[in-house]
Amino acid sequence: MNILDTFRLDGKVAVVTGASSGLGVAFSQALAQAGADVVLGARRVDRLPDTLALVEAEGRRGAFLQTDVTKPDDCTALIALAIERFGRVDILVNNAGVGTAVPATSETPDQFRNVVDVNLMGAYWMAQAFAREAKNGGVIVNIASILGMRPGGLPQAAYASSKAGLIGLTRDLAAQWTARKGIRVNALAPGFFPSEMTDQMPKESIELVRQLTAAQRVGRTEELASTLIWLVSDASSYVSGVTVPVDGGFVMP
């Protein structure tokens, strides 16, 4: 087999949460470029037709459903849509997430719970729904963050805690499912990439990140998307339970 063929996703069906903007859009388009049909979920359903158009422009099929990952029934419905439309589900990209930058002495219980509810618990409900229906095995990639591995210069206790928890969840699900269900589970930990969250960061914070990063720049979206394709494809078939930082050297020892 040509090694490049192992990166192809022809005949696969992928589900992407948080597919209405930013990295979710880029991930959905990249999956379609690699050959997968893509089912899209997000709370902001009005933006999903635009993402669907990008999938279809790559010659692939797609579908979408308004999805709140904090509601297990919504997660089940999104996976059911993949089965209904395409007869199978092979890949889950747990991308839905929210972030805050609130000093720890000011953060309210509701603010903290909301971040954990979406970023950690929402990923768990989606993983459960996927694992129940992935009859032929599959791959889950949880979109974590380097802020789950080290501080980033802003007060982000809720966000950092949720992403550190997601890294732990990744390891545990990999231990449970890799052999028993044939489902590999990994996490992708982005550094600083253009997104709605980084758009809200002060310029001085972005400059500090640049100085602390070995590559001396923020990332390009395609650099993250290409790593995702590796993780969900057969090219990484012996990789499970790991977190892959894509951060220009921000968290290196």
Bridge partners (DSSP) listed for residue 38: 14, 62
* Catalytic site positions: 159
Q: CA-CA distance, 133 to 80, in Å (whole number)?
A: 8
**Antiparallel, parallel or unpaired: β 37-42 and 62-66:** parallel
Instruction: Report residue 84 as tokens.
Output: 């209904």
Q: CA-CA distance, 159 to 148, in Å (whole number)?
A: 8
Instruction: Report residue 39 as tokens.
Output: 């089912």
Measured on CA atoms in the order 168, 91, 32, 20, is the torsion positive or negative? negative
